[in-house]
Amino acid sequence: MKVILKNHWVVKPAEATWNGTVSLSEFDQTFAVTHVPTIYYYKYFQDFVTDEIIETLKTSLSKALVYFYPLAGRLRWINGSRLELDCDASGVVFTEAEADAKLDNLTDFLLSPDYNSLFPRVDYTVPIDELPLLLVQLTKFQCGGIALSFAISHAVVDGQSALYFFSEWARLARGEPLMFAPCHDRKLLRAGEPAVASPTFEHLQFNTPPLLNGKSSTENEKKKETKGAMLKLTKLQVEMLREKANQGRSIEDSKERSYTRYEVVTAHIWRCACKARGHKFEQPTNLCICVNIRKKMDPPLPNTYFGNAIVDVIATGASGDIASSPLECTAKRVREAINMVTSDYANSTINFLKKQEDLSIYQDIHAFRNKEGPFYGNPNLGVISWISLPVLGLDFGWGKEIHMSPGIHEYDGDCVILPENEGDGSLTVAIVLQLAHVDAFEKFFYEDIEC
């Protein structure tokens, strides 16, 4: 598929906004300069033409940036190791493009590098203080359908904040007023403040993940060809997994609430990956889990907190044990990792990061410096949940999307669980694995539900 870039605009706030520098929290710092891509596909609507859609998007985006002004700013380094946000209203980049294909040709919507051209290009070679924090691309297909894609700075927002912004932008595009004003107070997570006394926990997320037995680095694993797959779980299949996990709980465990969809589906994914990768029984494996701390803090953060409010935790085990044990055993590992995250744990994480003279201790582990994002490849896995996020129904005035997808991933072990577009309780697992393991993973993924 060939995509031609036709026009570029810099969209700035429609009105004067607060101007100055903002200290980023430690949770913001760990994501450095990476951008998170997402894409929405819309069918052709006869009442709209591309020029009108572009004008609507640009005008409403300009209005949205008045409220969400940090997105129009730029990052800059402090002492070469930490970042701050300069709210200078430099603006965001909006690109118009045209594809030589029809939207119907993309019915599989796989996480394929073939679709890279549908996303805004982020040029990481420019100085960081010139790099936009938000880039938007509207691509028109030959059938009249469009793709609207975003690349948004992970140093400024997490998934919940990004989707909150897209939702409010869409409301403005429809001619409706803003529903909720964002909270920009990053001092709620002690941004720019010194470490304070708090309980200390072990933070496995800052340790180097396990390597394959007998290997001294991940270099060979990173070089292996990967392939993305989007695997659907019907509502019935999800409930079958939950029933299997919850029925197998011990009497002691059964006193707690039943396992959630995320816990059982994540456990299922981890077990299938261990099987598909063909590890030896004793092979150590880590599962990285991303936890939203807004409601876990004391006092809780506002739902409208606009920034990063997520912390990673690690579940560990031997691959053979994960693969051969019943589903409830792995679900219990997932739950125990999630339950570690309390307000004290989050503050301990903040203190740990504040005490690092150079945050590259974290960024290098996860390869943030070279923009690859976290590497959770063989023998490890990272599973992010979008199940409860408002990812569906993004209507800018011409109807809801026919499909949405996370951006292109090429790195072994990346996995996102998201709600299916029909909104019927089914889920989609978007996962990238080494090409040699994809078919086996898909086989176990469906067969093990019935076992």
Answer yes or no: 344 catalytic: no
- The structure tokens 């939950």 sit at 242
Give the amino acid at 342: T
List the catalytic residue out of 154, 184, 279, 409.
154
CA-atom Rg of the chain in angstroms: 22
- Nearest of 354, 22, 20, 359 to residue 187 by alpha carbon: 22
**d(C-alpha 180, C-alpha 158), whole Å:** 17
- Per DSSP, the three-state class of 5 is strand
Answer yes or no: 88 catalytic: no
List the catalytic residue out of 86, 253, 395, 448.
395
Are residues 195 and 354 in contact, defined by beta-carbon separation less than 8 angstroms? Answer: yes
Cβ neighbours of 450 (radius 10 Å): 8
DSSP string, 329-397: HHHHHHHHHHHT--HHHHHHHHHHHHT-SSTHHHHTTTTGGGT------TT-EEEEE-TTS--S---SS
The DSSP output letter for 302 is: P
- Can you give 32-88 as a three-state secondary structure string? CCCEEEEEEEECCCCCCCHHHHHHHHHHHHHHHHHHCHHHHCEEEEECCCEEEEEEC
Catalytic residues: 154, 395
